Amino acid sequence: MFYYHWSYLLLIPGMLLMFWAQMRVQGTYKKYAEIPSKMGMTGAQVAETILKRMGVYNVTVEPVAGQLTDHYDPSAKAVRLSEGIYNSNSLAAAAVAAHECGHVLQDVQGYKPMNLRAALVPAANLGSSLGPILVMAGLFIGAFKALIPIGIALFAAVIIFHVITLPVEFDASNRALKLIDELGILQGEEHRGARQVLSAAALTYVATALYAVLQLVQLILLSRER
């Protein structure tokens, strides 16, 4: 039967990698969320300090509900930090806040991969939700066979989005570490802790991209055998 097709085994390595990456980032975050920085600056203060020193005055720093929900919203010109980051003076909070400010600087400087990723968001959302459905419809209903390549093409947009996300996130982390060092926000071994937090977070993006690639390969193999 379709649901037990051997190609689904391809997804197992990706699922395991994603699980490991999530455990790694949660463990690393928990470790450094319990270590206060010597400067004692909260995540909000770190973000505000970086933006001010970089001459960026049209971006606000706001708290947002949830854990690890931190992000930069370029349309609203707002750095949104989860409550655990916004109010915390930990090494993890400093690293995450600086990372989001790295995205702000990308926006200010017109970093092309970031702009391209933003442009691909609608296509990626459509591809992730509709792509597999079209493939399955084509596999089960003969009259809809022509939908299979359309579904695969739509899902390919998801791959492109995740691939472009990698340099965007890596670049933001590199900018963050440089800013932390230049502004003296973290000192000595604290810098190593921040790097570990950001490196662990980067693994989740790698794992997600790999899993998406495996999904695409699985859909292609399934469609060919059917």
81 and 70 Cβ atoms separated by less than 8 Å: yes
> Does the structure show a pLDDT above 70 at 129?
yes
pLDDT at 220: 86
pLDDT at 111: 94
Token look-up 């300090």 returns 49
Q: Can you tell me the distance from the alpha carbon of 108 to that of 100, in angstroms, rounded to the nearest whole number? A: 13
Higher-scoring residue by pLDDT: 3, 141: 141
25 and 78 Cβ atoms separated by less than 8 Å: no
> Does the structure show a pLDDT above 60 at 226?
no
42 and 61 Cβ atoms separated by less than 8 Å: no
pLDDT at 1: 41
pLDDT in tens, 78-105: 999 998 999 999 999 999 999 999 999 9
Q: Can you tell me the distance from the alpha carbon of 120 to that of 157, in angstroms, rounded to the nearest whole number? A: 8
pLDDT at 225: 64
pLDDT in tens, 38-50: 999 999 999 999 9
> Does the structure show a pLDDT above 70 at 112?
yes
Q: Can you tell me the distance from the alpha carbon of 44 to that of 197, in angstroms, rounded to the nearest whole number? A: 17
β-bridge partners, 90: 36
pLDDT at 143: 65
Q: For the chain, what percent of residues have pLDDT higher than 90?
A: 70
> To the nearest whole number, what is the mean pLDDT of the chain?
90
DSSP type of residue 115? H
Q: Out of 34, 83, 100, 182, pick the active-site residue.
A: 100
Q: What are phi and psi of 63, to 5 degrees?
A: -80, 150
Q: Can you tell me the distance from the alpha carbon of 226 to that of 224, in angstroms, rounded to the nearest whole number? A: 5
Q: Please confirm, yes or no, whether 225 is among the known catalytic residues.
A: no
**Sheet-wide strand order for 60-64:** 60-64, 78-82, 71-73
> Does the structure show a pLDDT above 60 at 124?
yes
